[in-house]
Structure 1
Amino acid sequence: MLKVLTTIIAALAGVGLLTAAAPARKPLAPKPAARVVASGGWGAKVTRTPQDSYILGNPAAPVRLITYISYTCPHCAEFDKESEVPLKVGMIDTGKGALEVRPFLRNAIDVVATLLAECGPPEKFLGNHLMLLRRQDEWTAPAMSMNEAQKARWSNPDFATRMRAIASDLKLYDLMEARGYGRPELDRCLADRALAERATRHTQDAVEKDFVRGTPAFVLNGVPLAGTANWAGLKPQLEARLH
Protein backbone atom coordinates (compact mmCIF):
# COMPACT_ATOMS: atom_id res chain seq x y z
CA MET A 1 0.00 0.00 0.00
CA LEU A 2 2.79 2.44 0.96
CA LYS A 3 4.64 1.69 -2.27
CA VAL A 4 1.55 2.49 -4.37
CA LEU A 5 0.88 5.70 -2.46
CA THR A 6 4.52 6.78 -2.70
CA THR A 7 4.44 6.21 -6.46
CA ILE A 8 1.36 8.40 -6.88
CA ILE A 9 2.77 11.20 -4.76
CA ALA A 10 6.12 11.05 -6.56
CA ALA A 11 4.42 11.24 -9.96
CA LEU A 12 2.50 14.34 -8.93
CA ALA A 13 5.47 15.98 -7.23
CA GLY A 14 7.57 15.31 -10.31
CA VAL A 15 5.60 17.91 -12.25
CA GLY A 16 5.41 20.30 -9.35
CA LEU A 17 1.85 19.66 -8.19
CA LEU A 18 2.84 19.19 -4.58
CA THR A 19 5.75 21.64 -4.68
CA ALA A 20 5.46 25.19 -5.95
CA ALA A 21 7.33 28.46 -5.67
CA ALA A 22 4.51 30.06 -3.74
CA PRO A 23 3.89 28.98 -0.13
CA ALA A 24 1.21 26.36 0.34
CA ARG A 25 -2.23 27.74 1.04
CA LYS A 26 -4.29 26.76 4.02
CA PRO A 27 -6.74 24.03 2.90
CA LEU A 28 -10.19 25.41 2.22
CA ALA A 29 -13.29 24.05 3.89
CA PRO A 30 -15.22 21.62 1.66
CA LYS A 31 -17.90 23.22 -0.45
CA PRO A 32 -21.46 22.38 0.57
CA ALA A 33 -23.22 19.84 -1.59
CA ALA A 34 -24.97 21.37 -4.59
CA ARG A 35 -27.90 19.64 -6.20
CA VAL A 36 -29.45 19.90 -9.61
CA VAL A 37 -32.78 18.29 -10.41
CA ALA A 38 -34.27 18.41 -13.88
CA SER A 39 -37.69 17.25 -15.03
CA GLY A 40 -36.25 13.99 -16.34
CA GLY A 41 -36.31 12.33 -12.92
CA TRP A 42 -33.46 10.46 -11.25
CA GLY A 43 -31.51 10.11 -14.47
CA ALA A 44 -31.15 13.88 -14.67
CA LYS A 45 -30.09 14.46 -11.08
CA VAL A 46 -26.50 15.38 -10.22
CA THR A 47 -25.23 15.99 -6.69
CA ARG A 48 -21.81 17.43 -5.92
CA THR A 49 -20.55 16.16 -2.59
CA PRO A 50 -18.33 17.88 0.00
CA GLN A 51 -15.65 15.37 -1.06
CA ASP A 52 -15.57 16.83 -4.60
CA SER A 53 -17.19 13.74 -6.12
CA TYR A 54 -20.44 13.60 -8.10
CA ILE A 55 -23.47 11.40 -7.49
CA LEU A 56 -25.58 10.57 -10.52
CA GLY A 57 -29.13 9.61 -9.59
CA ASN A 58 -30.92 9.23 -6.26
CA PRO A 59 -28.51 10.15 -3.40
CA ALA A 60 -30.64 8.05 -1.03
CA ALA A 61 -30.78 4.99 -3.29
CA PRO A 62 -30.39 1.64 -1.50
CA VAL A 63 -27.59 0.67 -3.89
CA ARG A 64 -24.56 2.98 -4.15
CA LEU A 65 -21.78 2.24 -6.61
CA ILE A 66 -18.62 4.31 -6.25
CA THR A 67 -16.27 4.25 -9.20
CA TYR A 68 -12.74 5.63 -9.06
CA ILE A 69 -11.58 6.77 -12.46
CA SER A 70 -8.46 8.28 -13.99
CA TYR A 71 -9.08 10.36 -17.08
CA THR A 72 -5.87 9.06 -18.67
CA CYS A 73 -6.74 5.41 -17.98
CA PRO A 74 -7.77 3.50 -21.16
CA HIS A 75 -9.55 0.87 -19.06
CA CYS A 76 -11.69 3.63 -17.53
CA ALA A 77 -12.71 4.83 -20.99
CA GLU A 78 -13.59 1.26 -21.96
CA PHE A 79 -15.59 0.75 -18.76
CA ASP A 80 -17.55 3.93 -19.41
CA LYS A 81 -18.37 2.85 -22.95
CA GLU A 82 -19.60 -0.58 -21.85
CA SER A 83 -21.45 0.45 -18.70
CA GLU A 84 -23.03 3.81 -19.46
CA VAL A 85 -26.34 2.58 -20.90
CA PRO A 86 -26.92 -0.40 -18.58
CA LEU A 87 -26.08 1.67 -15.51
CA LYS A 88 -28.39 4.49 -16.58
CA VAL A 89 -31.32 2.31 -17.62
CA GLY A 90 -31.02 -0.47 -15.06
CA MET A 91 -29.90 1.47 -12.01
CA ILE A 92 -29.85 5.28 -12.12
CA ASP A 93 -33.13 6.02 -13.95
CA THR A 94 -35.11 3.68 -11.67
CA GLY A 95 -33.91 5.37 -8.49
CA LYS A 96 -32.84 1.99 -7.10
CA GLY A 97 -29.17 2.80 -7.41
CA ALA A 98 -26.82 5.75 -7.72
CA LEU A 99 -23.39 6.09 -9.28
CA GLU A 100 -20.78 8.18 -7.50
CA VAL A 101 -17.80 9.23 -9.63
CA ARG A 102 -14.54 9.92 -7.81
CA PRO A 103 -11.50 11.10 -9.76
CA PHE A 104 -8.23 9.27 -9.02
CA LEU A 105 -5.02 11.12 -9.89
CA ARG A 106 -2.19 9.12 -11.47
CA ASN A 107 -0.25 11.94 -13.12
CA ALA A 108 -0.26 15.65 -13.90
CA ILE A 109 -2.56 15.23 -16.90
CA ASP A 110 -5.18 13.71 -14.60
CA VAL A 111 -4.98 16.86 -12.49
CA VAL A 112 -5.71 19.07 -15.49
CA ALA A 113 -8.54 16.82 -16.70
CA THR A 114 -10.11 16.70 -13.23
CA LEU A 115 -10.03 20.49 -12.89
CA LEU A 116 -11.76 20.77 -16.27
CA ALA A 117 -14.30 18.02 -15.54
CA GLU A 118 -15.37 19.89 -12.41
CA CYS A 119 -15.37 23.33 -14.04
CA GLY A 120 -18.66 25.15 -13.62
CA PRO A 121 -21.94 24.14 -11.95
CA PRO A 122 -22.79 20.49 -11.15
CA GLU A 123 -25.04 20.08 -14.18
CA LYS A 124 -21.98 20.53 -16.40
CA PHE A 125 -20.04 17.68 -14.83
CA LEU A 126 -21.55 14.67 -16.58
CA GLY A 127 -21.07 16.13 -20.05
CA ASN A 128 -17.48 17.11 -19.25
CA HIS A 129 -16.77 13.70 -17.72
CA LEU A 130 -18.16 11.76 -20.68
CA MET A 131 -16.40 13.96 -23.23
CA LEU A 132 -13.01 13.48 -21.57
CA LEU A 133 -13.41 9.70 -21.51
CA ARG A 134 -14.95 9.29 -24.96
CA ARG A 135 -12.31 11.45 -26.65
CA GLN A 136 -9.43 10.26 -24.50
CA ASP A 137 -7.41 8.86 -27.42
CA GLU A 138 -7.59 12.22 -29.17
CA TRP A 139 -6.49 14.56 -26.39
CA THR A 140 -3.91 12.28 -24.76
CA ALA A 141 -2.10 11.54 -28.04
CA PRO A 142 0.11 14.68 -28.00
CA ALA A 143 1.59 13.61 -24.66
CA MET A 144 3.26 10.69 -26.44
CA SER A 145 5.50 13.00 -28.47
CA MET A 146 6.43 15.87 -26.20
CA ASN A 147 9.37 18.07 -27.17
CA GLU A 148 11.82 19.72 -24.80
CA ALA A 149 9.99 23.05 -24.89
CA GLN A 150 6.75 21.36 -23.83
CA LYS A 151 8.52 19.50 -21.03
CA ALA A 152 9.84 22.82 -19.78
CA ARG A 153 6.35 24.39 -19.83
CA TRP A 154 4.92 21.38 -18.00
CA SER A 155 7.47 21.94 -15.23
CA ASN A 156 6.79 25.64 -14.71
CA PRO A 157 6.96 26.38 -10.95
CA ASP A 158 3.73 28.40 -11.11
CA PHE A 159 0.77 26.05 -10.69
CA ALA A 160 -1.74 27.92 -12.90
CA THR A 161 0.81 28.43 -15.68
CA ARG A 162 1.69 24.75 -15.58
CA MET A 163 -1.92 23.62 -15.76
CA ARG A 164 -2.70 25.99 -18.64
CA ALA A 165 0.35 24.78 -20.57
CA ILE A 166 -0.73 21.15 -20.29
CA ALA A 167 -4.31 21.98 -21.28
CA SER A 168 -3.11 24.00 -24.27
CA ASP A 169 -0.64 21.37 -25.53
CA LEU A 170 -3.32 18.67 -25.31
CA LYS A 171 -5.90 20.85 -27.12
CA LEU A 172 -8.22 20.60 -24.12
CA TYR A 173 -9.14 24.26 -24.45
CA ASP A 174 -10.63 23.50 -27.86
CA LEU A 175 -12.69 20.59 -26.56
CA MET A 176 -14.03 22.55 -23.60
CA GLU A 177 -14.77 25.66 -25.66
CA ALA A 178 -16.86 23.44 -27.96
CA ARG A 179 -18.94 22.68 -24.86
CA GLY A 180 -19.68 26.36 -24.37
CA TYR A 181 -16.90 27.42 -22.03
CA GLY A 182 -14.98 30.66 -22.45
CA ARG A 183 -11.21 30.93 -22.05
CA PRO A 184 -11.39 33.10 -18.87
CA GLU A 185 -13.62 30.56 -17.12
CA LEU A 186 -11.34 27.68 -18.10
CA ASP A 187 -8.29 29.60 -16.88
CA ARG A 188 -9.97 30.18 -13.52
CA CYS A 189 -10.75 26.48 -13.17
CA LEU A 190 -7.21 25.48 -14.13
CA ALA A 191 -5.84 27.84 -11.47
CA ASP A 192 -7.83 26.12 -8.69
CA ARG A 193 -4.88 24.76 -6.76
CA ALA A 194 -7.03 24.20 -3.68
CA LEU A 195 -9.19 21.73 -5.60
CA ALA A 196 -6.10 20.02 -7.01
CA GLU A 197 -4.68 19.60 -3.51
CA ARG A 198 -7.97 18.22 -2.23
CA ALA A 199 -8.11 15.79 -5.17
CA THR A 200 -4.61 14.63 -4.24
CA ARG A 201 -5.74 13.98 -0.68
CA HIS A 202 -8.84 12.15 -1.95
CA THR A 203 -6.55 9.96 -4.05
CA GLN A 204 -4.44 9.16 -0.99
CA ASP A 205 -7.62 8.30 0.93
CA ALA A 206 -8.70 5.98 -1.89
CA VAL A 207 -5.45 4.06 -1.61
CA GLU A 208 -5.49 3.88 2.17
CA LYS A 209 -9.20 3.42 2.90
CA ASP A 210 -10.67 1.75 -0.19
CA PHE A 211 -7.51 -0.16 -1.18
CA VAL A 212 -7.49 1.26 -4.71
CA ARG A 213 -4.53 -0.16 -6.65
CA GLY A 214 -5.56 0.79 -10.17
CA THR A 215 -8.45 2.19 -12.16
CA PRO A 216 -11.27 1.73 -12.64
CA ALA A 217 -11.93 0.59 -9.09
CA PHE A 218 -15.29 0.03 -7.42
CA VAL A 219 -16.90 0.22 -4.00
CA LEU A 220 -20.40 -1.28 -3.77
CA ASN A 221 -22.51 -0.36 -0.76
CA GLY A 222 -19.37 0.47 1.18
CA VAL A 223 -17.47 -2.70 0.25
CA PRO A 224 -14.37 -2.40 -1.99
CA LEU A 225 -14.59 -4.92 -4.84
CA ALA A 226 -11.05 -6.25 -4.93
CA GLY A 227 -10.22 -8.02 -8.16
CA THR A 228 -13.06 -6.37 -10.09
CA ALA A 229 -11.75 -3.99 -12.73
CA ASN A 230 -14.22 -4.03 -15.62
CA TRP A 231 -17.91 -4.11 -16.49
CA ALA A 232 -17.99 -7.88 -17.02
CA GLY A 233 -16.83 -8.44 -13.44
CA LEU A 234 -18.98 -5.73 -11.91
CA LYS A 235 -22.27 -6.48 -13.68
CA PRO A 236 -23.28 -9.70 -11.83
CA GLN A 237 -22.41 -8.22 -8.43
CA LEU A 238 -24.47 -5.14 -9.18
CA GLU A 239 -27.43 -7.07 -10.54
CA ALA A 240 -27.51 -9.26 -7.45
CA ARG A 241 -28.14 -6.18 -5.31
CA LEU A 242 -30.61 -4.50 -7.64
CA HIS A 243 -32.98 -7.46 -7.98
Structure 2
Amino acid sequence: MTRTHLLALGAAALALAGCSKGAENATAPANGTSAAAATPPAGQDWTQVVSATPEGGMVMGNPNAPVKLVEYLSLTCPHCAEFAETGYAKLQDYVKKGTLSLEMRNYVRDPIDMTATLVTRCNGPQTYFAMTEQALAQQQQIMAKIQQVPQAELQRLQSAPPADQFKALATLLGIDQFAKQRGVPQSKLDQCFADKAALDQLVAGTSKANEIPGFPGTPTFLLNGTMLQNAGTWEGLEPQLKSAGA
Protein backbone atom coordinates (compact mmCIF):
# COMPACT_ATOMS: atom_id res chain seq x y z
CA MET A 1 0.00 0.00 0.00
CA THR A 2 1.59 3.26 -1.11
CA ARG A 3 1.19 6.57 0.68
CA THR A 4 -0.66 7.97 -2.35
CA HIS A 5 -3.15 5.12 -2.31
CA LEU A 6 -3.58 5.29 1.44
CA LEU A 7 -4.54 8.95 1.32
CA ALA A 8 -6.90 8.73 -1.65
CA LEU A 9 -10.39 9.85 -0.69
CA GLY A 10 -13.86 9.58 -2.21
CA ALA A 11 -15.30 6.20 -3.15
CA ALA A 12 -12.01 4.46 -2.42
CA ALA A 13 -12.39 5.43 1.22
CA LEU A 14 -15.49 3.26 1.44
CA ALA A 15 -14.09 0.20 -0.33
CA LEU A 16 -13.99 -3.04 1.65
CA ALA A 17 -10.88 -4.45 -0.02
CA GLY A 18 -8.74 -6.16 2.57
CA CYS A 19 -11.70 -7.01 4.79
CA SER A 20 -12.62 -10.69 4.82
CA LYS A 21 -14.74 -12.96 6.99
CA GLY A 22 -11.65 -14.66 8.40
CA ALA A 23 -8.32 -16.29 7.65
CA GLU A 24 -8.42 -19.52 5.70
CA ASN A 25 -4.89 -20.84 5.94
CA ALA A 26 -3.00 -23.16 8.26
CA THR A 27 -4.60 -24.40 11.46
CA ALA A 28 -2.85 -23.59 14.73
CA PRO A 29 -0.88 -26.37 16.40
CA ALA A 30 -2.66 -27.96 19.32
CA ASN A 31 -1.28 -29.26 22.58
CA GLY A 32 -4.62 -30.38 24.03
CA THR A 33 -3.72 -29.23 27.55
CA SER A 34 -4.99 -26.09 29.26
CA ALA A 35 -2.33 -23.97 30.89
CA ALA A 36 -2.57 -23.09 34.58
CA ALA A 37 -3.92 -19.67 35.47
CA ALA A 38 -1.32 -17.06 36.44
CA THR A 39 -1.49 -14.40 39.16
CA PRO A 40 -1.49 -10.79 37.89
CA PRO A 41 0.34 -7.89 39.55
CA ALA A 42 -1.15 -6.74 42.84
CA GLY A 43 -4.26 -4.60 42.41
CA GLN A 44 -4.67 -5.44 38.73
CA ASP A 45 -6.04 -8.09 36.46
CA TRP A 46 -4.17 -9.14 33.34
CA THR A 47 -6.36 -7.00 31.03
CA GLN A 48 -4.84 -3.94 32.73
CA VAL A 49 -1.28 -4.99 31.86
CA VAL A 50 -0.71 -3.42 28.44
CA SER A 51 2.25 -2.19 26.39
CA ALA A 52 3.37 -1.36 22.88
CA THR A 53 5.17 -4.04 20.87
CA PRO A 54 8.21 -3.74 18.57
CA GLU A 55 5.95 -4.74 15.65
CA GLY A 56 3.84 -1.61 16.17
CA GLY A 57 0.96 -3.35 17.92
CA MET A 58 -0.47 -3.12 21.42
CA VAL A 59 -0.49 -6.16 23.69
CA MET A 60 -2.71 -6.95 26.66
CA GLY A 61 -2.07 -9.65 29.24
CA ASN A 62 0.55 -11.79 30.88
CA PRO A 63 3.87 -11.24 29.06
CA ASN A 64 4.69 -14.90 29.80
CA ALA A 65 1.35 -16.30 28.69
CA PRO A 66 1.93 -19.63 26.93
CA VAL A 67 -0.70 -18.81 24.28
CA LYS A 68 -0.13 -15.65 22.27
CA LEU A 69 -2.86 -14.35 19.99
CA VAL A 70 -2.32 -11.58 17.43
CA GLU A 71 -5.23 -9.93 15.65
CA TYR A 72 -4.84 -7.85 12.52
CA LEU A 73 -7.83 -5.52 12.45
CA SER A 74 -9.16 -2.52 10.56
CA LEU A 75 -11.42 0.06 12.16
CA THR A 76 -13.40 0.37 8.91
CA CYS A 77 -13.85 -3.39 8.41
CA PRO A 78 -17.41 -4.52 9.28
CA HIS A 79 -16.27 -8.08 10.02
CA CYS A 80 -13.84 -6.71 12.62
CA ALA A 81 -16.71 -4.81 14.21
CA GLU A 82 -18.84 -7.96 14.25
CA PHE A 83 -16.05 -9.92 15.93
CA ALA A 84 -15.49 -7.17 18.50
CA GLU A 85 -19.16 -7.17 19.43
CA THR A 86 -19.36 -10.92 19.95
CA GLY A 87 -15.82 -11.88 20.91
CA TYR A 88 -13.83 -9.22 22.76
CA ALA A 89 -15.45 -9.64 26.18
CA LYS A 90 -14.98 -13.41 25.96
CA LEU A 91 -11.37 -13.00 24.81
CA GLN A 92 -10.70 -10.84 27.85
CA ASP A 93 -11.90 -13.66 30.10
CA TYR A 94 -9.05 -15.77 28.72
CA VAL A 95 -6.61 -12.89 29.13
CA LYS A 96 -7.66 -12.50 32.79
CA LYS A 97 -6.62 -16.11 33.44
CA GLY A 98 -3.06 -15.24 32.44
CA THR A 99 -2.94 -18.07 29.92
CA LEU A 100 -3.48 -15.88 26.85
CA SER A 101 -2.05 -12.55 25.71
CA LEU A 102 -3.79 -10.51 23.00
CA GLU A 103 -1.88 -8.26 20.64
CA MET A 104 -3.74 -6.02 18.22
CA ARG A 105 -2.03 -4.80 15.07
CA ASN A 106 -3.81 -2.17 13.02
CA TYR A 107 -4.20 -2.92 9.32
CA VAL A 108 -5.00 0.52 7.89
CA ARG A 109 -7.11 0.42 4.73
CA ASP A 110 -8.18 4.01 4.08
CA PRO A 111 -8.02 7.59 5.41
CA ILE A 112 -10.97 7.15 7.76
CA ASP A 113 -9.27 4.08 9.19
CA MET A 114 -6.01 6.01 9.64
CA THR A 115 -7.79 8.91 11.32
CA ALA A 116 -9.60 6.66 13.79
CA THR A 117 -6.50 4.53 14.39
CA LEU A 118 -4.35 7.54 15.25
CA VAL A 119 -7.05 8.60 17.71
CA THR A 120 -7.22 5.20 19.44
CA ARG A 121 -3.44 5.22 19.85
CA CYS A 122 -3.16 8.88 20.84
CA ASN A 123 -3.10 8.38 24.62
CA GLY A 124 -0.86 5.33 24.46
CA PRO A 125 -1.33 1.66 25.32
CA GLN A 126 -3.36 2.09 28.50
CA THR A 127 -6.48 3.39 26.73
CA TYR A 128 -5.91 1.75 23.34
CA PHE A 129 -7.98 -1.41 23.79
CA ALA A 130 -11.04 0.31 25.21
CA MET A 131 -10.96 3.02 22.55
CA THR A 132 -10.52 0.47 19.78
CA GLU A 133 -13.52 -1.53 20.96
CA GLN A 134 -15.60 1.64 21.26
CA ALA A 135 -14.53 2.89 17.82
CA LEU A 136 -15.57 -0.42 16.28
CA ALA A 137 -18.92 -0.16 18.06
CA GLN A 138 -19.47 3.24 16.40
CA GLN A 139 -18.16 2.15 13.00
CA GLN A 140 -21.52 2.24 11.21
CA GLN A 141 -22.28 5.73 12.48
CA ILE A 142 -18.88 6.99 11.36
CA MET A 143 -19.09 5.39 7.93
CA ALA A 144 -22.62 6.69 7.37
CA LYS A 145 -21.42 10.24 7.87
CA ILE A 146 -18.94 10.04 5.01
CA GLN A 147 -21.89 9.61 2.65
CA GLN A 148 -23.08 13.07 3.65
CA VAL A 149 -19.79 14.82 2.86
CA PRO A 150 -19.90 16.68 -0.48
CA GLN A 151 -17.71 15.16 -3.15
CA ALA A 152 -16.08 18.54 -3.73
CA GLU A 153 -14.92 18.57 -0.10
CA LEU A 154 -13.43 15.10 -0.43
CA GLN A 155 -11.62 16.13 -3.59
CA ARG A 156 -10.27 19.23 -1.88
CA LEU A 157 -8.90 17.16 0.97
CA GLN A 158 -6.95 14.92 -1.42
CA SER A 159 -4.41 17.68 -2.00
CA ALA A 160 -4.08 18.62 1.67
CA PRO A 161 -1.15 17.48 3.83
CA PRO A 162 -1.87 14.24 5.73
CA ALA A 163 -2.25 15.90 9.14
CA ASP A 164 -4.79 18.34 7.70
CA GLN A 165 -6.69 15.49 6.05
CA PHE A 166 -6.95 13.56 9.30
CA LYS A 167 -8.01 16.62 11.28
CA ALA A 168 -10.67 17.51 8.70
CA LEU A 169 -12.00 13.95 8.55
CA ALA A 170 -12.12 13.78 12.34
CA THR A 171 -14.28 16.90 12.38
CA LEU A 172 -16.52 15.82 9.49
CA LEU A 173 -17.15 12.37 10.96
CA GLY A 174 -17.34 13.23 14.66
CA ILE A 175 -14.16 11.33 15.48
CA ASP A 176 -12.76 14.41 17.21
CA GLN A 177 -15.76 14.46 19.57
CA PHE A 178 -15.34 10.73 20.16
CA ALA A 179 -11.76 11.45 21.26
CA LYS A 180 -12.60 14.44 23.44
CA GLN A 181 -15.28 12.48 25.26
CA ARG A 182 -12.53 10.03 26.20
CA GLY A 183 -10.05 12.54 27.52
CA VAL A 184 -8.08 13.44 24.39
CA PRO A 185 -8.09 17.25 23.96
CA GLN A 186 -7.83 18.94 20.56
CA SER A 187 -4.22 19.96 21.18
CA LYS A 188 -3.25 16.32 21.74
CA LEU A 189 -5.25 15.23 18.69
CA ASP A 190 -3.40 17.75 16.52
CA GLN A 191 -0.09 16.34 17.75
CA CYS A 192 -1.16 12.78 16.97
CA PHE A 193 -2.42 13.66 13.48
CA ALA A 194 0.93 15.35 12.76
CA ASP A 195 3.05 12.48 14.14
CA LYS A 196 4.85 11.33 11.00
CA ALA A 197 6.66 8.53 12.83
CA ALA A 198 3.34 7.05 13.98
CA LEU A 199 1.90 7.37 10.48
CA ASP A 200 4.93 5.72 8.90
CA GLN A 201 4.82 2.88 11.44
CA LEU A 202 1.18 2.14 10.65
CA VAL A 203 1.77 2.22 6.90
CA ALA A 204 4.82 -0.05 7.30
CA GLY A 205 2.86 -2.48 9.50
CA THR A 206 0.10 -2.72 6.91
CA SER A 207 2.63 -3.34 4.15
CA LYS A 208 4.32 -6.03 6.23
CA ALA A 209 0.98 -7.77 6.81
CA ASN A 210 0.44 -7.85 3.06
CA GLU A 211 3.71 -9.76 2.74
CA ILE A 212 2.44 -12.64 4.90
CA PRO A 213 1.82 -15.58 2.53
CA GLY A 214 -1.90 -16.00 2.00
CA PHE A 215 -2.88 -13.01 4.14
CA PRO A 216 -6.65 -12.85 3.51
CA GLY A 217 -7.60 -9.48 5.00
CA THR A 218 -9.14 -8.55 8.30
CA PRO A 219 -9.73 -9.86 10.83
CA THR A 220 -6.79 -12.25 10.68
CA PHE A 221 -5.50 -14.10 13.74
CA LEU A 222 -2.08 -15.57 14.45
CA LEU A 223 -1.87 -18.08 17.31
CA ASN A 224 1.66 -18.66 18.58
CA GLY A 225 2.88 -17.43 15.20
CA THR A 226 0.61 -19.57 13.03
CA MET A 227 -2.14 -18.02 10.94
CA LEU A 228 -5.50 -19.51 11.85
CA GLN A 229 -8.17 -21.02 9.66
CA ASN A 230 -11.81 -19.96 9.90
CA ALA A 231 -11.23 -17.74 12.93
CA GLY A 232 -13.19 -14.67 11.89
CA THR A 233 -15.97 -15.43 14.38
CA TRP A 234 -15.85 -16.26 18.07
CA GLU A 235 -17.35 -19.67 17.33
CA GLY A 236 -14.48 -20.34 14.96
CA LEU A 237 -11.74 -18.92 17.17
CA GLU A 238 -12.54 -20.25 20.65
CA PRO A 239 -12.07 -23.98 19.89
CA GLN A 240 -8.63 -23.18 18.50
CA LEU A 241 -7.71 -21.23 21.64
CA LYS A 242 -8.78 -24.18 23.79
CA SER A 243 -6.88 -26.60 21.58
CA ALA A 244 -3.74 -24.51 22.04
CA GLY A 245 -4.13 -24.56 25.83
CA ALA A 246 -5.61 -21.15 26.58
- Shorter-chain TM band: 0.7 to 0.9
Contact 2:7 2:110 in 1 (8 A): no
Residue 190 of structure 2 aligns with which residue?
187
Question: How far did residue 146 of structure 1 move?
Answer: 2.5
C-alpha distance in 2, partners of 1:141/1:53? 28
Task: Quote the RMSD (CA, aligned, Å).
Answer: 1.9
1:121-149 Cα distance to aligned partner (Å, 9 max, x none):
32121221111111111222111233134
The counterpart of 1:108, out of the listed 91, 111, 120, is 111
Residue 178 of structure 1 aligns with which residue?
181
Contact 2:7 2:162 in 1 (8 A): no
User: What amino acid maps onto 2:87 in structure 1?
Assistant: S
1:190-226 Cα distance to aligned partner (Å, 9 max, x none):
1112211211111111121264221111101100114
Residue 242 of structure 1 aligns with which residue?
245
Is 1:202 the equivalent of 2:196? no
C-alpha distance in 1, partners of 2:196/2:171? 18
Ranked by relative contact order (alpha carbons within 8 Å, sequence separation 6 or more), the top structure is 2
Is 1:45 the equivalent of 2:49? yes
Residue 224 of structure 1 aligns with which residue?
227
C-alpha distance in 2, partners of 1:38/1:181? 28
Question: How far did residue 59 of structure 1 move?
Answer: 1.8
| Paired residues for 1:18-167 under 5 Å | 39-89=43-93, 91-167=94-170
Contact 2:71 2:104 in 1 (8 A): yes
Compared with structure 1, are the counterparts of its residues 164 and 10 closer, same or farther at alpha carbon in structure 2 (3 Å cutoff)?
A: closer
| Paired residues for 1:10-21 under 5 Å | 11-15=5-9
C-alpha distance in 2, partners of 1:43/1:75? 23
- Where in structure 2 are there 5+ consecutive unaligned residues? 10-40
C-alpha distance in 2, partners of 1:61/1:216? 22
Question: How far did residue 230 of structure 1 move?
Answer: 2.0
Partner secondary structure for residue 145 of structure 1: coil
Residue 25 of structure 1 aligns with which residue?
none
Contact 1:153 1:162 in 2 (8 A): no
Q: How many residues align?
A: 215
User: What amino acid maps onto 1:165 in structure 2?
Assistant: A
C-alpha distance in 2, partners of 1:59/1:228? 23
Contact 1:154 1:163 in 2 (8 A): no
4+ residue stretches of structure 1 with deviation over 4 A? none
Question: How far did residue 65 of structure 1 move?
Answer: 0.6
Contact 1:155 1:162 in 2 (8 A): yes
- Where in structure 1 are there 5+ consecutive unaligned residues? 16-36
Q: TM-score, normalised by structure 1?
A: 0.82
User: What amino acid maps onto 1:119 in structure 2?
Assistant: C
Compared with structure 1, are the counterparts of its residues 38 and 204 closer, same or farther at alpha carbon in structure 2 (3 Å cutoff)?
A: farther
